[in-house]
Amino acid sequence: MSEVQTVADYFGCNVFSDKVMRDRLPKNIYKSVMKTKKFGIALNDDVANVVANAMKDWAIEKGATHYTHWFQPMTGWLS
């Protein structure tokens, strides 16, 4: 019989989170992503490509066979 898990045990385990980025991205790339997150500074293509490749590798390691990027605008234009 398997051990009972709480939601906290598995919620977010399949998210390319800050911790996952910190562990997988080169330090300079991670810092650039954090500047974008904090200050809204645009990512250049080189940084975006490193992040995308790291995310792809991480997802494949977790068993992903398909991927989609779902944009969720945070500008408030829908409200």
For the entire predicted model, the pTM comes to 0.73
Q: Is residue 38 one of the residues assigned to a domain? A: yes
Q: What is the pLDDT along the chain (79 residues), one digit of tens a residue?
A: 567 778 877 777 888 889 999 999 999 999 999 999 999 888 899 999 999 999 999 999 999 998 776 766 666 655 5
Question: 65: number of CA atoms within 13 Å, CB side?
Answer: 0
Burial class (CB in 10 A: 0-12, 13-18, 19+), 33: buried
| Domain carrying residue 33 | 27-63
- Count of structural domains, the chain: 1
75 inside domain? no
For residue 57, being part of any structural domain is answered with: yes
Local structure of residue 77 (DSSP, 8 states): T
